[in-house]
Every structure is written in structure tokens, then in C-alpha cells.
Structure 1
Amino acid sequence: MFDTRHALLTVDEMSRADRLTIERGRAGILLMENAGRAVADAVSERFGGGRVAVLCGPGNNGGDAFIAASLLKERGRDVSLFLLGERERLTGDAAEAAHRWNGPVHPLTADAAEGAAVIVDGIFGAGLSRDVNGQAAELIRRVNRAGLPVVAIDVPTGLDGDTGQVRGEAFRARVTVTFFRKKPGHVLYPGRTLCGELVVAGIGIDDEVLPEVAPATFENGPALWGAHFPQRRVEDHKYSRGHAIVVSGGPSNTGAARLAARGALRAGAGLVTVVSPPNAVAINAAQLTAVMVKPFAGADSLTKILEDKRKNACLIGPGCGVGPTTRENVLAALLSGAAMVLDADALTSFAEIPRDLFVAIKGYFAGPTVLTPHEGEFRRIFPALEGGKLARARAAAAESGAVVLLKGPDTVIAAPDGRAIVNTNGGPELATAGSGDVLGGIILGLLAQGVPAFEAAAMGAWLHGEAASYFGIGLVSEDLPEMLPAVYRDLVPALR
């Protein structure tokens, strides 16, 4: 099992963690008290002075807000409380929390935030099942337009905790206080931008419930894959660290392959060779030094190259061109048993016949395979898949038999067995031509060193994001591989 400190709990999984904790003897009202205190602390520590408008909904989120309102009032704050619905209809712990509030309860209307210095949002939680509308939606619009600071409980009202998508309208929070573990909606876009500063508060739920909850989604980081990180040994030689093959396109499309090759080399592959059509060999040779070059002419030629089992990992796609030639090269490479990374043109070439690709990936001779589409490429080969990003990536992995890395600022890595990781360290620096080619190369270099496909994809995405962060503003794709040694210098001691 992965390190559960990095688990992202779905709404149902969080409800189960709550229920298991209560079944083991911890009162639900105690959990609510702790949640309300964490919210009150967030307000007190960050927003001093001025009236606090506390917005309560009809469920447990509203109960948390009632507790927060009571505590803030005890601390001397000017608090106004607004409730969506009728107080008499509250049940369970939320009713008990409302009973403890000794101030007036105003109906929640579109002007509830008027004159407030800070808003506590406890209207709806992560399990929202319908779009926000009516008075609540108009209130959200007014608060967002005014730029008032919002402290959201669990998630900003209107945000789906499982997908990160907006249901109708959603607050743009300055701070979000969630409990026990993050949810997928906190790290998937656009939810990540709506949550502001994210505070994860312990409220009395024990980690011991997590094995029974059995989460399958995690936030990316070294704790998840550190055990698979390639170890350097004195007896290593270049062949023991793998030989990666990058398939290049024709003479006018060679740059992407060279970027990938440099990524693979810096990621630690012992040897890297760019294979290209004969008319592109001289161009690649003029630009490469430590990376070797070799001509090939079609699928049969690629098959012969990969017959040398020391050549144990292969990347096809960037700059290869869309069409039957690329399709044939992909199918030939999959038959070799080499670990594969398929990106860009290698995916689009199967847009009309994706099933042929999936059958080959699941074939007896195929090695571990990673697909690295951006959203456009994903839609071309998985046109029927809909829903949130996590659900689509999982379904794609199950359908294709490959590890799927669905790119974006919230890159999702999904395995055919249902495990999924969300990468959160990819910054805006990566919005530059060729950065995806380098990512494919980094994953290729890790596969060549024997890292399993799921861990190689997750590791590659994290290293890619860290390299960009280390460089900062002004990054171009050629800079990414050259930052990996600095990332490794900090990472490797931490893994020991």
C-alpha cells in the first residue's frame, strides 16, 4: 500500500472514515467541535477585526459553521450567522451545534455578506449533488465580484470534492480548511485555484481507519515511489542502467526526439540512441554528442534494432508524423517486449482505430507501456470517455491496458488496476514548447533503468515539475534536463 499520508479521499471515502471513527467510540459532535475550532482558528489567525458573516447550510458543513460562529463570538468577534433553510429541520450533530449558538439566526439571502469583513462558507460541502442556484448562487456571485475574503469549510461551496469541477457557482476562497486528508477536488483544476490556501486539520479521525477505507488516489511525491528510485551501485556500467531508444521523425521534425533523448540521458539511462530515417541522421548527429544516432527505414528495420534486448525501452511519437508509417512502427516496437512510452503522433495515428493499439498493448509480447496524452490527444483515442479527469484517466488505463499519464497542471497518472496519482508540482514555467517531449524522455530513461511503468510515470511527472521549479521564470524546454542533476542532489539523500 502507498504511504497513506498522501491519500486523497473521495467524498464517500471521507464519509466512511468519519463513520468508522464514530463506530469505534468517538462522538460525532466531538469531530464537529474540532472541525469548527480549526475554522475559527483560521479566521482568527489570518483576519483580525471586522464583522464575520458565517454562512450555514442544512448539513454537517453547516454544523461545523455553527461551532465556528460560537467560538468566534466567544473570542470577541462581531459575528452574524445566516442559515439556508429552517433551523428546526437540522438533524443529528448539526442540530446540536445549532443549539449551542446563542445569537440570532438570519435567513441566507443574496445580501448576507453585505458589510462583512470576512466570510465563513459552510453552506455546502464536498458531496454536492446538484448545481448551486437561487439565493446561494447570487450570494456567491456578489462575494466573488466584491473580492471579499472567504474561509471555506471542507471545500468552497459549489465545488465538487471528487472532480474539482464547479457545480453552477462556486466561491473563490482565500483559505479552505479541510479535515483529515485532502480530497481530489482540492488538487484538480479548477478546484485547486478556488481553494486558496489549503489547511488540512486533524479532527480526531485515526489513521488506523485508512486500511479499511482503502484509498486508491494519492498526491504525487517521493514517498509514493521512493522505494523504486534507481539506486547507483559501484558495479554499475552503462548497459546495466539500460539502453533507451527514441524514434525520430524526418529531417524537418527532429527537435522533439532530441529533447526526449536528452531527458532520458539526464534521467539516468546508461545509453540513449536516436533512430531516424536516413535523411535525418546527419541533422541529429550534428546536434548530439553523448546521445548516439542510428538510421532506420520502416517497421522491419526498427524490429531488427530492438532485437538487441539490451535496448530495453523505446519512445515513439514526438515529431514522428501522423499516419500509417508511425502506426506500423508502434506496433513493431510493441512486439519487441521493450518498455514503451507512446506520445503525440504515436497516439494520434491511432485516432481512427484505437482498438488496434489497445490490442497490441495487451498482447503477449508487449512490455510495460505508458501513454502520455494531453487533453486533445486523449479525446482522439478515448472519444467515448466522459466525466472528471480522474475518472477518465482510470477508465482509459483500464481500456487500453497501459499506464495513462493525462497531462495538464493537474497531471493524472492512472494504472489499469485503478490506482491513480495526481501531480501537483507542475508550475506555469512548463507552458513552453517541447516540455512534454522532455517529460516523455524522462519517463523513458526511468523505464530503461527498470522502474515499473506506474512508478516511472509518477516519478517522471514529479521530477519534471521540480526541474521547472528549480529553474523558474524564463525556462525553455532545453533547460529541463539540465536541472535534473540539481533535483537529484536534493532528492537522493532524502530517500536514504
Structure 2
Amino acid sequence: MFQIQPGLPLVTAAAMRSAEAAAIAAGTPALTLMERAAQAAAHAILAHLPSRRATVLCGPGNNGGDGYGIAIALSAAGVAVTVAADAPPRREPAATMAARWTGPVVPLDAAPPAPLIIDALFGIGLDRPLDSASQRAIDRLRGHGRVVAIDIVSGLHADRGTALGQPLAAELTIAFAAPKAGHLLADGPRHSGRLAVVDIGVPVETAMMLIDRPRLIGPAPDAHKYDRGWVLMVEGKADHGGASSLAALAALRSGAGLVTIAGPGTHLPAMAVMRRDDEEAANLLNDRRLGSVIIGPGMLPDTRARGWLKRLTWAGKPLVIDAGALRLLAEEPVGAPSVLTPHEGEFTQMFGPIGDDRIAAVQKAASITDAVVLLKGPTTVIAAPDGRVAINTHNSPWLATAGSGDVLAGIIAALLAQGQPLFEAACAASWLHGDAGRRMGPGRIADDLIAILPEVLAGL
């Protein structure tokens, strides 16, 4: 069994602005929030990337105001700071913060290279391409210092993570109050570098979160195999049995007490896995001890698959629907509680193009299907029909190998069989799968992922 740990909250630009507005309405002046942000950012810079000399790029808005405040704090700490800006901010509180800076100021096109370059040009409100003057300044400084981005890299969309021009990739991004979705999606990870979240006294309320390490709780002393969860794996086509075997064995290795494969085949991935033909397996759906069912790995959208989906709808057991079974959902949605696990190609076939807003696309899919949808990829996005969203960045490119998704389906099914709710099971399984991928390394295949799972569980 696992205890799901709530991860860091994630916010959109709109949610962050609302949280700041609420804090101001509750009595905290906007200037105080900016002072807190500048002090917290300067402290993080001195802790992570100390330098004797820095150039701070300041824009015309509140992000620029943060930059002036950071320049003041770093200068007070003995850092030689030059601010580069074409004009001071006009609106409060940034204008007041800029007026406090008494050090050198040069135009953007004269921004001097320095060991430390602090990007405070544009914040989370930018939704258009970088202007030509800012882009030229960024291009001149590229490769001429270690870069710290304030709240978000200038030229990165705060919600979608798409690049709006040619951003200056940061080694460190200092996020105020909470990570922004754009830090983690699309171009965000390769531009944001290491992410440091600093508290500025602004509580955030959001339905989005980062997935954190789950905590393993061992079985009770008197537990039997059914207490640990019973998973039924509906096998695909006989000559596609490898996918089903991977999912079944992954479920067993993830802690399920019993795994049964349903189908006419003969191969078993382990002596501990049982097999039943379709008729016998269908009768198992009436057994209250059966905790979850996987359908789809190695499966073709044929008459047998359609028959199984109808049975599973009536049975109401928690389902993991993957691969071939996903194609059938367009014909007849499944009413049973389900986790859908498409990769990008399958998602597009089911729901249309993902577009720039990956989170919105997955949320819409969850709403349409009334299921938890897990969109696989370098950054995994999971959405529930009630609006909750989770993002998993604890992944590895070594997971891009045949059969990796089947292993993930098996892990989810094991957690469902142990009584975890759909959304929480998908989140924890995504983290466990990613951790196995990180431990995997070169030359290994999906079969090795399963062998690594006990090591992952032992490390929790």
C-alpha cells in the first residue's frame, strides 16, 4: 500500500495574479510583496550562484521592478551590479522600486557581459513574442555568463511553456510562491534549468500539483494475497502476448498479491502468474476480491475486445485502459471507473490535436470520458474529471522504449487493486515508473524496468 504525498502546487498566470490580488486586498501592500520577492530571490542567488559581479536585465513591468529590488539587495551584499534597462517602469510598485536604485544603469543594447546575468525582463504576463530590442540584448549576452531567471525565463509562456522567440536559457529559475505550469511543459524544462521556489507570503489555491514521491506502507502482519490486491490482465492477441506479459508482471512486482491473465494463450511471464480462459475469467468479475482489470496491451479492436469492454462496463471494476482498447472508446464509452493511458499518437486519434495547451487538452479529455486521463510523454500530464491536474517531471528518456507503457499500466492496476483512488493511483504509478526509468540507464529494455521495481519500492 502507498500513501500519496501532496506535491508542490502548480499555478497558471491567472491563478498567480488572483492570489497576489487577494493578498493585497487582505492588507499586504503590493510594494511589500515586491520587497519580499526581491529579498527572497537575492538570498537564493547568493546561496546557489554567488558572484562578485552581475548584470540585471530589467523590463518595464513588475518583473523589472523585482529586478531593481534584486539589484539593491545584491549590491548591499557586496556584488558589483549593473542594471540594463531602456526605461524605468511607470506603474507601481515597480516604479518605486526602480527609483530606489542608485547604481549604474545602461541601455539594454549596452548590457555588459558578466559572470552572472539576471533575467528580469518579462514575467508571467508575457503572451506575445519578445520585442526586437529585448531579443537583441538576449542574443548579445547568450553564452557570456551564468543565467538566473526571475519567476520565469523571459520569452517563455507561463501556462504552456512554449518559447515566444529565442529565450535566454537559465541555469536557475527562481519562482515566486509556486512553480508555474510553463516551467514544466514544452520548452520550459530545457530553458528553466534548476527550479527554486521561494515564499513571498502569498498563499495559492490551485487544482494543479507536481507529483511527489509516494510513501510505501507495508502490508499488515496478518495480510493475505487478496488484501494486497488482485489484478486481472485481459490478454491481447496471442502473438502480441509480450505486452500483456509485461503489464501482468509489472503489476505483480508493484505489490499486487495476485495476478491472473485472461485469454487463450499459453505463455506465462512468471510461475506466480495464473491464467484463465475468457469464460473462466469473465466469471471472476463477480468476485468481490478482484480489485482491478487491465485491458488493451497487445490487443486489437476486434470482436473479442468489444465483448470484454461490455463485460467490464457491467462489472464496474476499476480499469486501466491502454493501447488497443483505447481505440474502442470512440465507439462506446466505458462507464466503469477508468484510467486511460494514451501516448500522444493515441491521444490525437481519440481527441484530436493536443495543441499548445497540453493541460487544457488533457482536462477536456477527462471531462469528455469521465475518466482519469494520463497523457504519456517527457512530462506526464494527468487530469481527473473533477478538474484536478498533476504533472510528473520525475521521468527519464530511457523510458522511450517498446513496452514501457505496458509496465506503467501494470503499476497503475496494482495500486488500484490495493484500493487507491483512480487519480492518486495514476499519480503514484507515474512517479514509480519514472524512478525505475531513472535507475535504468543505457542498454536496458522494458523487461529490465520490471526487474528494477523492487529496488524502487525498497528506496521509498
Q: Note if contact 2:6-2:212 (Cα within 8 Å) is conserved in structure 1.
A: no
Aligned to 1:239: 226
Alpha-carbon distance in structure 1 between the residues aligned to 2:103 and 2:229:
69
Aligned to 1:293: 275
* Superposed counterparts of 1:76-155, under 5 Å: 76-84=78-86, 86-87=87-88, 90-109=90-109, 112-144=110-142, 146=143, 148-155=145-152
Q: CA deviation at 1:132?
A: 1.7
* Superposed counterparts of 1:460-479, under 5 Å: 460-479=429-448
State the SS of the aligned residue for 2:382. Answer: strand
Q: Which amino acid is the alignment partner of residue 124 of structure 1?
A: F
Q: CA deviation at 1:403?
A: 0.3
Unpaired runs of at least 5, structure 2: none
Structure 2 counterpart of 1:444, from 413, 417, 420 = 413
Aligned to 1:22: 24
Structure 2 counterpart of 1:481, from 437, 441, 450 = 450
Alpha-carbon distance in structure 2 between the residues aligned to 1:478 and 1:336:
31
Q: Note if contact 1:245-1:315 (Cα within 8 Å) is conserved in structure 2.
A: yes
Cα pair distance change 1:141/1:343, threshold 3 Å: farther
Cα pair distance change 1:385/1:428, threshold 3 Å: closer
Q: CA deviation at 1:9?
A: 2.0
Unpaired runs of at least 5, structure 1: 492-496
* Identical aligned residues as a percent: 40
Deviation digits for residues 310-363 of structure 1 (CA, Å, limit 9, x no counterpart): 33321111111244543443233222212111111111344xxx2x343x33xx
Alpha-carbon distance in structure 1 between the residues aligned to 2:129 and 2:277:
57
Q: Which amino acid is the alignment partner of residue 169 of structure 1?
A: Q
Q: CA deviation at 1:384?
A: 5.8
Deviation digits for residues 350-400 of structure 1 (CA, Å, limit 9, x no counterpart): 4xxx2x343x33xxxx2x100001111111101165442211111110111
Alpha-carbon distance in structure 1 between the residues aligned to 2:41 and 2:8:
22
Aligned to 1:429: 398
Alpha-carbon distance in structure 2 between the residues aligned to 1:455 and 1:151:
34
Aligned to 1:58: 60
Q: CA deviation at 1:474?
A: 4.2
Q: CA deviation at 1:292?
A: 0.9
Cα pair distance change 1:291/1:152, threshold 3 Å: same
Alpha-carbon distance in structure 1 between the residues aligned to 2:50 and 2:209:
35
Alpha-carbon distance in structure 2 between the residues aligned to 1:38 and 1:475:
43
Cα pair distance change 1:237/1:68, threshold 3 Å: same
Q: Note if contact 2:219-2:228 (Cα within 8 Å) is conserved in structure 1.
A: no
Q: Note if contact 2:84-2:111 (Cα within 8 Å) is conserved in structure 1.
A: no
Cα pair distance change 1:143/1:329, threshold 3 Å: farther
Aligned to 1:398: 367
Q: Note if contact 1:402-1:416 (Cα within 8 Å) is conserved in structure 2.
A: yes
User: Which moves more between the two structures, 36-45 or 250-259?
Assistant: 36-45
Q: Which amino acid is the alignment partner of residue 92 of structure 2?
A: G
- Count of matched residue pairs: 457
Alpha-carbon distance in structure 2 between the residues aligned to 1:94 and 1:488:
49
Alpha-carbon distance in structure 2 between the residues aligned to 1:485 and 1:48:
41
Alpha-carbon distance in structure 2 between the residues aligned to 1:324 and 1:167:
48
Aligned to 2:241: 254
Alpha-carbon distance in structure 1 between the residues aligned to 2:97 and 2:274:
69
* Superposed counterparts of 1:10-409, under 5 Å: 10-47=12-49, 51-84=53-86, 86-87=87-88, 90-109=90-109, 112-144=110-142, 146=143, 148-205=145-202, 209-210=203-204, 214-222=205-213, 232-276=219-263, 278=264, 281-282=265-266, 284-285=267-268, 287-296=269-278, 303-350=282-329, 354=330, 356-358=331-333, 360-361=334-335, 366=336, 368-383=337-352, 386-409=355-378
Alpha-carbon distance in structure 2 between the residues aligned to 1:197 and 1:273:
43
Q: CA deviation at 1:90?
A: 1.3
Alpha-carbon distance in structure 1 between the residues aligned to 2:246 and 2:61:
52
User: Which moves more between the two structures, 59-68 or 5-14?
Assistant: 5-14
Alpha-carbon distance in structure 2 between the residues aligned to 1:422 and 1:48:
31
Alpha-carbon distance in structure 1 between the residues aligned to 2:317 and 2:178:
38
Alpha-carbon distance in structure 2 between the residues aligned to 1:412 and 1:490:
24
Deviation digits for residues 228-278 of structure 1 (CA, Å, limit 9, x no counterpart): x776223322233332111222332111111100111122222111122x3
Alpha-carbon distance in structure 2 between the residues aligned to 1:378 and 1:230:
34
TM-score, scaled to structure 1: 0.85
Q: Note if contact 1:439-1:464 (Cα within 8 Å) is conserved in structure 2.
A: yes
Cα pair distance change 1:302/1:489, threshold 3 Å: closer
Q: Which amino acid is the alignment partner of residue 268 of structure 1?
A: G
Alpha-carbon distance in structure 2 between the residues aligned to 1:46 and 1:459:
30
User: Which moves more between the two structures, 93-102 or 466-475?
Assistant: 466-475
Alpha-carbon distance in structure 2 between the residues aligned to 1:344 and 1:140:
44
Q: Which amino acid is the alignment partner of residue 166 of structure 2?
A: E
Q: Note if contact 1:38-1:177 (Cα within 8 Å) is conserved in structure 2.
A: no
TM-score, scaled to structure 2: 0.91
Alpha-carbon distance in structure 2 between the residues aligned to 1:257 and 1:230:
27
Deviation digits for residues 427-456 of structure 1 (CA, Å, limit 9, x no counterpart): 223222211111100101111122111111
Cα pair distance change 1:99/1:3, threshold 3 Å: farther
Higher relative contact order (CA 8 A, sep 6+): 2
The RMSD of aligned alpha carbons is: 2.5
Q: Note if contact 1:133-1:169 (Cα within 8 Å) is conserved in structure 2.
A: no
Aligned to 1:418: 387
